[in-house]
Structure 1
Amino acid sequence: MVSFQYRLVALDLDGTLLNSDKKVSENTKNVLMYLQQHHPDVEIVLASGRAPYLVIPTETDCGVDCSLIGYNGGLCLSKKAEGRTTIFEKAIPADRLIDIYKYVEDNNLYLNVYGDGIVYGVKRQIEKANNYSTMTGAKYSFVDSYFELKPELNPMKCLIITESEEECDRLLETLTPIFSDLSLVKSNCFSKTCKQYYVEFLKNGVNKGLSVREFCNLKSIPVEQMVAFGDAENDIDMLKIAGLGICLGNGNDATKAHSDKVSSYTNDQDGVARELVELYNLPKDLIK
């Protein structure tokens, strides 16, 4: 048995594990590799709003083998050593998917629909897709209308792309009563040259927090023995459920308010690595 209080580390990607260049720093890589090599009983989980195939390159850059939670909790995959099998998946009901398509078509909004290894979008407002692809590495397939997409696509997540937080907040307020039977989540993605804000559609009851809790139950790890790191609204449920929820210094005010600790360090200052060194009493010279 691991002797540490925290047997599971849950890590958000954008704005948390990744710096503003969308990279894993050498310090962060060194700390995560040391933690997994010397304390293999500590589970490391990457929990992101991204599709899992867009999380795997970050896992590779970290030099570790992690379980993956993608689509803000819609899909969970096991570690490579465990066969990278699907642990659970939660798709949006098909009838509500049609309602989402109708709303975005009627209101000239841009929607990402996530398929198996690809994102579907429409040919109008294509600069939004280009910016999203640049920041995340997503590969797109474009159609003229969302209604062209096959019913068997069975996506775990869709999201509307907006380019200001004010627009995103207004849209979320409008959509919440219309889609009260789904989970709607606000998220974002920033780079040094672009900012986007998203309203995400998920199956009812899906969020990072509940999915990490389900994963903990399957692994017989009490949630009190989990430490979670995040920076944005879609991380709040995970930070609240964890025994220790840490918001990085660059996080927004709402996320900081729901965390147990606000780090003195940002994602550009190796915040995750520095907090893990302190929590697990790792060698300080891992951080150069």
Structure 2
Amino acid sequence: MEKIKLILCDIDNTLVPKHQDLSERAVQAIHQLKKSEILFGLASGRSISQLHRLETSWNIRCDVIIGLNGSELYDGLDDFSEQLYFMEPAWIKACFEIMAPFDCNPTLRRDGISYVRNYDKNVAASSAYIKNDHQVHIVKDDAEFWQGPAFKVGFRVKAEDMPAIEKRAAKFPSQAFKGFKTENTMFEFCNAEASKGSMLKRFCSRHDIDLQQVCCFGDMTNDISMLQAAGIGVCMLNGSEDAKAAADFISEKAADEDGWADYVEKHILNR
């Protein structure tokens, strides 16, 4: 195994159970990585501003943050951010047409405002978790969703509908945007060029880091690109079947058993 120089980690159901705080064990593992001169970063569907809030509340420091599923990048080594990939209004409208047959609650963030069709328990929980860093607007007409560009659009759906949603989305291929499952009840669309894997490559190229010396952790379809790009891709025990198939290894424990910290301690810090 190559000497690891960078660990990049998804958050929900990977680093922590969804909407949970980072455990003290995981905090100490991150601090120990830093002492071992191993860089650490987060890759998430959340925005960089939201991830900075979590970083502060968890008392950790990230060397790299990939936000919005690969649409934006924060380079902590050079201390700058860049936003690269947007969804055009017409693309957003097309996503709604794809999702029309399904009972869902769309959500989209633009200019610090989260647009939702319904303010339900999932929206409330997400807002509380990221310390209410944005205003929530309940739309009166779905056309408000595509009144301007945005980084991504998500649809909260029923878990039993997900196979049919993935099948329907595959029938509408686009060179402009792509759709994928980010949770068992969340399907998202973003610019076709955006991915966690492409942003990982961008960061590593900038700092001359060999991808073979990168270890990535994830649990869901939107993590596959970085699991495949890294020299070592680890899917959580609780991960989706497609993410497990793309990974090199599967953690011995699930996210709700501190599976990330357990794997890092056993296979990276103490090897």
Classify the TM-score, shorter chain: 0.7 to 0.9
How far apart are the structure 1 equivalents of 2:68 and 2:127? 16
2:253 maps to 1:265: yes
Which has the larger displacement, 49-58 or 26-35? 49-58
For residues 237-258 of structure 1, what are the alpha-carbon distances to aligned partners after superposition, in whole Å with 9 as ceiling and x for unaligned?
2111110111122223332222
Which of these residues, 150, 158, 167, is aligned with residue 161 of structure 2?
A: 167
What RMSD, in angstroms, separates the aligned Cα atoms of the two structures? 2.7
Say whether residues 1:178 and 2:180 are aligned partners.
no
Q: Which moved more, 1:255-264 or 1:6-15?
A: 255-264
- Could you tell me which of 92, 97, 103 is aligned with 1:97? 92
Aligned residues: 266
Is the 2:92–2:146 Cα contact (8 Å) retained in structure 1? no
Letter in 1 for 2:174: S
Q: TM-score, normalised by structure 1?
A: 0.81
Superposition map of 1:67-216 within 5 A:
67-79=64-76, 82-83=78-79, 85-101=80-96, 109-123=104-118, 126-127=120-121, 129-130=123-124, 132-133=126-127, 139=134, 140-149=136-145, 151-152=147-148, 154-164=149-159, 166-181=160-175, 182-188=177-183, 197-216=185-204
CA contact (8 A) 1:53 1:117 kept: no
Sort the Cα spacing of 1:281 and 1:100 in 2 relative to 1 into closer, same or farther, 3 A.
closer
Give the structure 2 partner of residue 14 of structure 1: 12
TM-score, structure 2 normalization: 0.86
Q: Which residue among 51, 56, 59 is the counterpart of 1:60?
A: 56
Cα-to-partner distance string for 1:34-79 (whole Å, 9 max, x where unaligned) = 222x134x32110011222332233224422212111111111222
Q: Which has the higher helix share?
A: 1
Q: How far apart are residue 117 of structure 1 and its match?
A: 3.5
* Distance (Å, rounded) in 2 between the aligned partners of 1:150 and 1:173: 24
Q: How much does 1:121 deviate?
A: 1.1
> CA shift at 1:129, angstroms?
3.2
Deviation string 1:156-193 (CA, Å, 9 cap, x unpaired) is: 111111021x31221121123325221211111xxxxx
How far off its partner does 1:134 sit?
5.6
Q: Give the counterpart letter for 1:141 in structure 2.
A: H
**Structure 1: segments with no counterpart, 5+ residues:** 189-195, 284-288
The change in CA–CA distance for 1:250 and 1:104 in structure 2 (over 3 A counts) is: closer
Inter-CA distance 176–264: structure 2 relative to 1 (3 Å threshold): same
Asked if the contact 1:19–1:25 (Cα under 8 Å) also holds between the matched residues in 2, the reply is: no
In structure 2, the gaps of 5 or more residues are none
More divergent stretch after superposition (134-143 vs 262-271): 134-143
Given that residues 33 and 63 in structure 1 are in contact (C-alpha distance below 8 angstroms), is that contact kept between their aligned partners in structure 2? no
Q: Is contact 1:78–1:86 with CA below 8 Å preserved after alignment? A: yes
Pick closer, same or farther for the CA change 1:235–1:32 going to 2, 3 Å.
same
Q: Contact (CA 8 Å) 2:235, 2:249: kept in 1 or not?
A: yes
Compared CA separation, residues 102 and 28, structure 1 to 2 (3 A): same
Match of 1:234 in 2: 222
Percent identity (aligned) = 23
